[in-house]
Structures are given as C-alpha cells and as structure tokens.
Structure 1
Amino acid sequence: MNIGLVGSGAIGQYLLKNINGSSNGDLNITSVFVRNYDKYKHLEKEYNVELFTDLNEFLAADTDIIVEAANVETVKALLPEIIKEKDTMLISIGALADEALLKTVSGENNKTLHLPSGGIGGMDLVQNARALGNLDTVTLTTRKPAPSLIDEPVDAETVVFEGKAKDAIDKFPKNMNISIILSLAGVGIDKTNVVLIADPKAELNKHTINISGSFGDAEFTISSNPLPENPKTSSLAALSVYATLERLAENVKIG
C-alpha cells in the first residue's frame, strides 16, 4: 500500500520511522506534502520519499491512501479537495466538529474517510451498541495532569469543563479530539457528555468512557503513555494510526 503523508509533526515522523524505517513490506510512505520544502528536504534521503509543496501534484502521485498528520486548520483547508481524489485517514479529528465540513466530506461522490480511534479505544463496542437505536447515553471523563490544563496550582481535582462534546472541542481544541471520534461513533456531538478534570496527582492522561442503552451498559478506562518523541502526543494515538493502516492492508478483518 503506497501512502501519501500530509504533515511531518510528531505522528508523521513516527509513521515515517516505523513504516519506511523498518522492514514493513505491506506499507510504504512514498510522498509527503509539506509547506516548507527546505525545512523537511532531509526526509527525502532519510526515508526515500518524494516531497511536494503543490497539492495537485501531491494528489496526482501514485498513492492508495492519504494520511493527514498535520492540524485542524490544515484539515479544514485541504480535506475537501483531498477526499475528492483519494481515500483519506484523518488524525486531527477535532476538525469534524465543524458540521459544515463533516457534511461536505460525507458527500456520496467522495472517497472513503478513515477515522482511527486515537488515544482511546472501544469504538467497535460503541458502534455496535448504537445499532438499531440501542444506545442512549455516552459520557467521556478525562483526567489530565493539572499543569496541562490550568496555569494556577491546585491541591485537588478540579473540573475545568462539564458539558457536551461540541462545546468541549471549542474550548479545548488541543485536548478533546477524542470526544469527537467518540461522538461520531455514538450519539453525536450534541448529546455526548464530556467531563474534563485537572488532576494535580495525575502523571498520565486517563479516559473513562461510560455508555448505556437497551443493550445494557459498559465502562472502560484507558491510560496512555506519551510518545517518547513528543510528550504532548499519546503513544496510543500514534499506534492507532499505524494499526489502522495495517488492518487496511490485511485480507482478514476483525470487527
């Protein structure tokens, strides 16, 4: 599978290292779209990729899927054009809180948009529970180290947000991508409950998901170590992108 990569931040570099920098015969990043060629030209020799600064030329390259590893602003600017031409995998899922953008990229004439689960899991369970209207409530409770959310020191857990996913991503755009993937898998951004807690004792991000409906109920908790190359990025978020690409290249599908 030939992959085109948009962006070369922490997850982009992770993918280059673990796909092109290892002996993975099924996956190969062949092209990378960047804004600044001189800044990233070393990637061409280091990972045997071709760099592009022109979007049309990038989309014309021989790739099977485009992986976005940039940011919300880039997604809003480029995704409507990319999805017309290529299957796409989105990392900056928070961009889809924009209902107009979601409607645009969901158009029937577009290619397939793949959304990895990022720093959480259990999206198969949430989607199964949603089938035939069997899912009623979804709540995401996220605990993060206090300094990552608030400036002043605190001695006890402090709720910094409690409300719906739609408002959570507006107020905490760098912290609430996961609330959007959960909303899309479940009951939507207007109905998904979100609680964000600044915890002075926390060392890792912890996400607890509670769902209930006529199917029953479920609770699961995920604690993820940071990516060694970038402590602000969840290692599970990077792994979810790599693993989703692997599954796309396999003949046997689970779930």
Structure 2
Amino acid sequence: MLHITMIGSGAIGIGVLELLERDPQLTVDAVIVSPASQELVLQRLALAGLRHAPRVLTALPEDMRPDLLVECAGHRAIEQHVLPALERGIPCLVVSVGALSEPGLVERLEAAAQRGNTRIELLPGAIGGIDALSAAKLGGLESVLYTGRKPACAWLGTPGELVCDLAHLSEATVIFEGSAREAARLYPKNANVAATLSLAGLGLDRTLVRLIADPQSHENVHQVEARGAFGGFELTLRGKPLAANPKTSALTVYSVVRALGNHAHAISI
C-alpha cells in the first residue's frame, strides 16, 4: 500500500480524497493545512463522510516519512512544504505548476530534489497532450498557442475585471493576450495550464496565451495549437468546472488520482 500525505484540503483535495477511497492500494494518512484553516478543514472532512479520514496537520513532522507528498494547495505550499520535503528525500507530486513561473523556483526545486536523492513530478492537471508536446520539442517545436476560455464568473477577482464588466458580459471577450510568463503573473490562480505547457514546450516567454471570458460557456475550454518541424497538432479539451470552485477543472482531480495510481499499481499509463 502507498502511504500519501496531501498538502491542502480544498475543492481539489476533497475530490481526490473521495476518489481514493475506492482504491485499496492507496491511503492518505494526513493532510497539511494552514493553522488558520485547520478547524474549517476538519469540518469539511466530517461533511465528506470519508470512511478513513486523514489526520489534519499544519506541517510534516520530522518523524513522518510518507511514500509520496502531494501538493493540492496553491503556490505558497511549494515554498513552505515541497522544498523542505524534497531536501528530506521525500518524492513530491505538484498540481500548482503555475508557481514555477516564479524566477529561479524550478532550479531550486531541482537542486533540493538532487540533494535529497529524490524527484518531483509535475502533474498535467486540466490539460492533456503534454507527452506529445514534450516529444515535439525534441523533434523541432516552433510555436505554441494556448487559449483558455472560461465562464465569465470564473474570472471574477482577476485583472479581467479591469478589462470588461464580467457580471454583465453579453459576448465572449478576450481579457488577455501575451506570454505565459505575463499570464502567470497577472492570473496566478489560472496559470497552471499555461505554465505546464511552457515547461513541456518552448518556455514561459515563447509560449503565447490568450484568455477569454465567455458568458455563454458552462465549461472550461482549453485549446492548444503547436507547430514545428515535427508537424503540428491541435487539441481541445472541454472540462466541467468543479462545483466547489469554478476556476478549476474537474479533470484536475482525476489527473491527481491517475498519477497516484500510476505510482501504486503494477501497470501505469
């Protein structure tokens, strides 16, 4: 059995915990949350009705060594928990890939993993085709355009509010066009897909991003267009948003569960 500690217990974390209960080869022993949210998380876990509720901690104890540490908490968790765990030799899976747009963080994570003689795995989350994009990079990748289309309400609380009146939008509107690095800076909570594509492909400065607020959409639509010496491909994913968080695709939860299963099961794909 694979013993897991999870960082975070929000919409993604609860979804992962519910699905993992079906797999006897995986168990989440503990979740790490901020001290301020500890009581709230305990309430969420009670409402979820899990058969095997994990312990709720605010840090990973020195005497605790999970088989895997899974980050489902957001960008600050990388600094607070993932880096120290890598130094201790604990393998980590990361959902908040957008955090890696911070200058120097990729190099710090790599160095920590090397010192701990372990590895860090970046999860594709809401996007597919990462294997094809990485292969295309080896065969000659010249351009990557990512277009993210979400319901207008999903952009509330972002700089998109300065571009248009999201609450009264009547037609699809482009709220951002630029590099993946600039998209990650301005839209950090929506940066994971663009950052993942950038790391697999041309990097943050050469990956182009277009973000669209669409009042007619009830899905999170991700489109990738890649061209190069290898040929080209177009990918469109229409993901239903999580009911508990419209900024996040439900596919992100399934991506985490799939990755954990690949670590625990005899055959992975």
- Tell me the TM-score normalized by structure 1: 0.90
Q: Does 1:105 align with 2:106?
A: no
* Equivalent residue in structure 1 for 2:146, among 128, 140, 148: 140
Q: Which amino acid aligns with 2:195?
A: I
Question: 2:58: which partner in 1?
Answer: 53
Question: 2:212: which partner in 1?
Answer: 197
Question: 1:187: which partner in 2?
Answer: 202
Q: CA deviation at 1:74?
A: 2.2
Q: Is the Cα contact below 8 Å between 1:31 and 1:61 reproduced in 2? A: no
1:90-116 deviation digits (Å, cap 9, x = unpaired)? 111111001311110011324211111
State how far apart, in whole Å, the 1-side matches of 2:14 and 2:20 are: 10
Q: Is the Cα contact below 8 Å between 1:76 and 1:95 reproduced in 2? A: no
Q: Does 1:215 align with 2:233?
A: no
| Shift in CA distance, 104/2, structure 1 to aligned 2, threshold 3 Å | same
State how far apart, in whole Å, the 2-side matches of 1:41 and 1:214 are: 52
| Shift in CA distance, 65/154, structure 1 to aligned 2, threshold 3 Å | same
Which structure 1 segments of 5+ residues have no match? Answer: none
Q: Is the Cα contact below 8 Å between 2:219 and 2:239 reproduced in 1? A: yes
- Tell me the TM-score normalized by structure 2: 0.85
Question: 2:125: which partner in 1?
Answer: 118
Question: 2:170: which partner in 1?
Answer: 155
Q: CA deviation at 1:63?
A: 1.3
Percent of aligned pairs sharing the same letter: 33
Q: Which amino acid aligns with 1:18?
A: L
State how far apart, in whole Å, the 1-side matches of 2:18 and 2:254 are: 12
| Shift in CA distance, 197/38, structure 1 to aligned 2, threshold 3 Å | closer
1:82-101 pair list within 5 angstroms: 82-85=85-88, 86-101=90-105
State how far apart, in whole Å, the 2-side matches of 1:41 and 1:94 are: 28
Q: CA deviation at 1:41?
A: 4.1
Q: Which amino acid aligns with 2:15?
A: Y
1:146-182 deviation digits (Å, cap 9, x = unpaired)? 2333441333322111111000011111122110011
State how far apart, in whole Å, the 1-side matches of 2:96 and 2:142 are: 27
Question: 1:63: which partner in 2?
Answer: 66
| Shift in CA distance, 54/190, structure 1 to aligned 2, threshold 3 Å | same
1:7-46 pair list within 5 angstroms: 7-20=8-21, 22=22, 24-36=23-35, 37-41=38-42, 43=45, 46=50
State how far apart, in whole Å, the 1-side matches of 2:53 and 2:149 are: 40
Which structure 2 segments of 5+ residues have no match? Answer: none
State how far apart, in whole Å, the 1-side matches of 2:152 and 2:85 are: 38
1:195-239 deviation digits (Å, cap 9, x = unpaired)? 111223222111110011111000010010122344442110111
1:37-67 deviation digits (Å, cap 9, x = unpaired)? 4443464995342332233x1x532410000
State how far apart, in whole Å, the 2-side matches of 1:247 and 1:227 are: 23
Helix, strand or coil at the partner of 2:149: strand
Helix, strand or coil at the partner of 2:104: helix
Measured on the aligned residues, the alpha-carbon RMSD in Å equals: 2.0
